Amino acid sequence: MSTVRDWAVPNPITENRSGLIGKPVDRYEGRLKVTGTAPYAFEVETPSTPLYGHIVSATIARGRITAIDLSQAASAPGVVLAWSHLDVPVQAQRGAKLNPRSQRGSNPALGSDRVEHYGQSIAFILADTPENARSAEARIRISYEASDADLDFGSFIDSAGPVPGEEDARIGDFEAGYSASEVTVDATWFSPLQNHAQMEPCATTAWWEGDKVVVHTSIQMVKGGQHALAETLGIPSDRVRLLTRYIGGGFGGKGQSYDDLTLAALAARESGRPVRVAYTRRQMFQATVHRPAVQMRVRLGADGTGRLNAMALEAVTHCARNSTFVEHAAEFARNLYAAPHRLTGHRLVRLDIPHAGAMRAPGEAPGMLSLECAMDELADRLGMDPIALRIRNEPEVDPDNAKPFSIRQLVRCMQEGAQQFGWDRRNPTPGAVRDGRWYVGMGMATAIRGNFLLPAKAGLRLTGDGLATLTQGMTDIGTGTYTILAQITGETLGLPLDQVRVELGDSDMPPAPGSGGQFGAATAGSAAFETGMVMRRRLAELATSDPRSPLYGEDPVLMDFANGNIVLGNRSESLAALASRAGPEGVYVEGSISPAADARDWSQHTYGAQFAEVGVDSVTGEVRLRRMFGVFAAGRILNAKLAKSQITGGMIWGVGAALTESNAVDPRYGSFLNQDLGGYLAPVHADIVNLDAVLLDEADDKANPMGIKGVGELGICGSGAAIANAVYNACGVRLRDYPLTPDKVLAALEAKGL
Amino acid sequence: MKPFAFERARNVDHALSLAAAAPGARFLAGGTNLLDLMKLEIEQPDTLIDVGRLPLADISETAGGGLRIGALATNTLVASDPRVRSRYPVLARAILSGSCVQLRNKASMGGNLMQRTRCAYFMDPAMPCNKRLPGSGCSAMGGLSQAIALFGASEFCVAVSASDMSVALAVLDAEVETVRADGSVRRRPVETLHRLPGDAPQVDTDLAPDELILAVELPPPPSGGQVWRKVRARASYVGALASIAVAGDRVALGAVAARPWRARATEAALAGGASPREAAEAELVSASGADGRKSLVRRLATDAIQESRKGGRS
């Protein structure tokens, strides 16, 4: 196992001689996607004419199916078969694992007569067209016996219980430290349930080849999906080939498989035909996971100079009754600001609603909406600038564990951001700036998000045509993975980009953990880099040991790679020629990356500073973004365009969290109020004006051999808090109940007599 | 989606005879609302009569100095017409605040008027809704939606109209011209095209099944400023929390009733010399619903009337 010291040695990526690293290359699949020519899972070619499945969803929150009659549906035009729990083919029991190494257990569909949440799958119809499959749903006769269901998070907050296996994190004596503080803040924030609202719904196309099933599905983790399906069907995982080449957004919601995968595979087996199954837009809201609501109490205690003495974040959140998911909304605070007396913890409410799960920056995204506003309130109370307050509390080592930082440029992010944004033009007095009927204000917040490296592998083949083809069981969920892996491979081998191919999303390829937790680029990319280095060594050995090579007899460690050649001094040979001589298959190598043995000796995060200017309509309470700017530090940047796109995309998610996005569970039915993109209000173009981000020069040599870090989730962190702070600065209203919709802002303005 | 017959009308008479022959038929123009509702099986017509190619898209001057806008003129065409923009800016602005550009390019004048409510419980086929399934109940009452009627609601339905355009048409005293299969042509104010829910919320308008909208006629614009405002959580592609159209001494409110709501009490109060705020309050005397919604309408109306008096065009 390597150590971070090994990673600090200069390598082709850190030297970046051909300049591919950091280059703002367009996304390889961008044109395919926007022209509708990238085949998504539902659209891939099938070996024969496919059938179409439609999943029928429960319309009660909790209870039993006492009777279900599918006969009318089964005889509807075009219908091939219809299943309920009574006649669905046998599947392994939920959670069962035939293979102990499976990453996921069985996840049976239509497994019993029990309904555990509104929108759960209860029946399945297979037909010749999607229209016929859907249309037959109305012919199903079903009776339920409904049971009492716990649906309203708000009414169960007081009875929230501890998270199994977790204890509060305590350092020092929070209560004593807090009560001894000169200046305090004690307030509670609420952030609502949110949905991912991916453009591409969950979908699968499946067919069988003998006893092996081929599934194209929309999922972020190849192995997880492959194992879940194999365990559900009760077959070894090598009899499931899972492909996921183009994905229209994941955001954590596709970190797992859903019933479309299981039912497509079962129906393809039963019918002997390829089967396509997609969730409807409405099902995406209720049959996949969501970000749970969070209530967060924040207490801050400081001395008169703003030095924090005590800090507590106590989160209450929810998950489904039988789930283990926890939105760790308080955790980020452990590593952010210095304070000797600290308390962070989580409490959980179990509800009979669809499953809570991971959504872009789980933890930080809702959590920073509270602490970063509490810091603003503390600054206000102290009469301090919010940036000065944060710098006053900048720790020298990680305040949670006293580990040194790998690199921490948070202060620089704030200072450079302040300068470029024009923070000095902010009037600290709320309500002091008007533009016609608009109150105008500025706010800022910090961003912090962990960085991770997981084990991963990759394969790399060099062929006689001079092409290098990287293969990896990795996913590109719209983040640019294809593109950055090509840049890494090209730079490592000294090949131009048009001589590099990247093939992803196939369980037959060397495995990578997939996309999630902003670990994808660092993990898959480091494996690609290490594999490239394996290829360099193999090619050097081939050349120096082959009498036909001009490099014969030289020391292989002296070889260099540039412009498609292997080079020593003024002698060189093309990689194409080397690969040709190796045979028709060319040269194939595999490589891998693992976390360094001492990786956890450092505190390692990505950081940023968010700045927002908003207008608040003094008549109606509408809040509109006027401009937004952020400065971020996230290691070496592989592709300036795509990294910025990830960051600004995250910032826009924060705009949604602050101003528009929420869903509500109807306490009478257990259904979500918003089930389409006209009702669930993610920001649209008109909401986003003058938004920009800058990434600082950085390399984190404790992160991985390339010194890169994740950017996929950093941008959302603190973004919404900067907006809420700007709303306060604009009109003097502190709203702690997200999103800050016109009705809430107006009520607060009226309460102030405005 | 239920299977349905599709007929393309060759001319207006053909469209009307098709409609008369198929009582469950619906006219299809841009399809931006009807097709969505058919996919959700909220609308289940046996027959669609495609009127989209009929020659009803012209915008022309009327003898009386107004404008006649064909039923098939797209929302984009109307909002970008120089005559509309200069003489009826409140209409252009109302249209441009609705939906998104792709849908406005498809959506027609007549179709915009015929669009159905976006009440979340109407849009969810699993929920009780008297407008969708008469007698099943109203989930919006006691529900989570804020889009509840302040005026003209009944014990059966509290849904509000989703059309921004119709609010501007109402304030401009526009009339809808229709024709039936028997050849009878009728005109009625846009304001009264839509029914209040009463005990039959499933019936949105008083149009007969074989009645086709031919055009909307605008009388000459009233003197005085025109103002359009639409309040919403995000800046585009969402229905109003409340909207207002002001033209001269006329005021219409949107998203507060099942039809565009001419604020007659406000107009009367203004004529009697009341202040804008008093005039806004005069209408709200008869409003039901949450205080926050009433506050929003009061403030919005007060401000918009004040602005119109400055000749404003916001």
Residue by residue, DSSP assigns B105-157 as: HH-BHHHHHHPPP--HHHH-TTS-BTTTSTTS-BSSTTSS-S---SSS--SS-
Q: Which residues of A are catalytic?
A: 713
User: Structure tokens of B152?
Assistant: 């003209």
* Partner residue facing A620 (CB), from B234, B235, B299: B299
Separation between Cα atoms, residue A8 and residue B25, nearest integer Å = 73
Strand partners, A449: A606
List the domain boundaries for chain B: 5-49
Among A666, A691, A741, A752, most B C-beta atoms within 10 A, so best to mutate, is A666
Dihedral over alpha carbons A221, A224, A225, A229 (to 10 degrees) = 180
Q: Is B24 exposed, middle or buried (0-12, 13-18, 19+ CB in 10 A)?
A: exposed
Query: Smallest Cα–Cα separation from B265: which of B217, B311, B297?
Result: B297
Q: In chain A, what is the greatest distance between 2 CA atoms, to the nearest angstrom?
A: 90
Q: What is the secondary structure of A544-588 as a DSSP string? A: HT-TTSTTTTS-GGG-EEETTEEEETTEEEEHHHHHHHH-TT-EE
pLDDT exceeding 90 applies to what percent of chain A? 99
Is the pLDDT score of A609 beyond 80? Answer: yes
- Fold topology of A4-38+455-594: Aldehyde Oxidoreductase; domain 4 (3.30.365)
**Residue A749 corresponds to which amino acid?**
L
Separation between Cα atoms, residue A261 and residue A244, nearest integer Å = 12
| Contacts with A403 (C-beta within 8 Å, 6 or more apart), sequence order | A397, A600, A601, A602, A603
Is the pLDDT score of B312 beyond 70? Answer: no
Cβ contacts of B300 on chain A, cutoff 8 Å: 619-620
- Encode pLDDT of A688-746 as tens digits: 999 999 999 999 999 999 999 999 999 999 999 999 999 999 999 999 999 999 999 99
Residue A189 pLDDT class (50, 70, 90 cuts): very high
Query: Smallest Cα–Cα separation from A146: which of A352, A434, A314?
Result: A352
ipTM topping 0.95? yes
- Encode pLDDT of A375-398 as tens digits: 999 999 999 999 999 999 999 999
- Encode pLDDT of A740-752 as tens digits: 999 999 999 999 9
User: Structure tokens of A177?
Assistant: 């430290």
Instruction: Please judge whether B124 and A684 are an interchain contact, meaning their C-beta atoms are less than 8 angstroms apart.
Output: no
Separation between Cα atoms, residue A630 and residue A447, nearest integer Å = 9
Is the pLDDT score of A9 beyond 90? Answer: no
Q: How far B240 CA sits from the closest chain A CA (Å)?
A: 11
Q: Where are the beta strands (DSSP E) in chain B?
A: 5-8, 25-28, 47-50, 59-61, 67-70, 175-179, 185-189, 212-218, 226-231, 242-247, 250-254, 261-262
The secondary structure of residue A47, as a DSSP letter, is S
User: Structure tokens of B78?
Assistant: 């109307």
* Partner residue facing B235 (CB), from A77, A686, A739: A686
Is A286 in a helix, a strand, or coil? helix
Task: Give the pLDDT confidence score for residue A1 in this predicted structure.
Answer: 63
Backbone angles phi, psi at B138, to 5 degrees: -120, 110
- Encode pLDDT of B9-40 as tens digits: 999 999 999 999 998 999 999 999 999 999 99
Cβ proximity of B270 and B302 under 8 Å: no
Task: Give the pLDDT confidence score for residue B313 in this predicted structure.
Answer: 54
Q: How far B266 CA sits from the closest chain A CA (Å)?
A: 18
Mean pLDDT score across all residues of chain A: 97
- Fold topology of B5-49: 3.30.43
Helix runs in A87-207, H state only: 130-135, 153-156, 174-179
A interface with B, Cβ–Cβ below 8 Å: 59, 77, 131, 134-135, 138, 282, 437, 617, 619-622, 624, 659-660, 664, 666, 668-669, 671, 673-676, 678-679, 681, 683-687, 739, 741-743, 746-747, 750
Q: Which helix (H) or strand (E) holds A752?
A: none
- Encode pLDDT of A287-321 as tens digits: 999 999 999 999 999 999 999 999 999 999 999 99
Separation between Cα atoms, residue B115 and residue B134, nearest integer Å = 19
> How many other CB atoms are found less than 10 A from the CB of residue A616?
29
Cβ proximity of A485 and A477 under 8 Å: no
The angle that helices A742-751 and B291-309 make with each other, rounded to 10 degrees, is 80
Is the pLDDT score of A620 beyond 80? Answer: yes
**Residue A446 corresponds to which amino acid?**
T
| Omega before residue A739 within 30° of 0, cis | yes
- Encode pLDDT of A155-169 as tens digits: 999 999 999 999 999
Cβ proximity of A628 and A610 under 8 Å: yes
First to last CA, chain B: 42
The secondary structure of residue A237, as a DSSP letter, is G
- Fold topology of A363-452+600-751: Aldehyde Oxidoreductase; domain 4 (3.30.365)
Mean pLDDT of A556-575: 96
pLDDT exceeding 70 applies to what percent of chain A? 100
List the domain boundaries for chain A: 4-38+455-594, 363-452+600-751
Beta strand pairing call for B47-50 and B25-28: parallel
Mean pLDDT of A209-219: 98
Helix runs in A12-171, H state only: 12-15, 30-34, 71-74, 130-135, 153-156
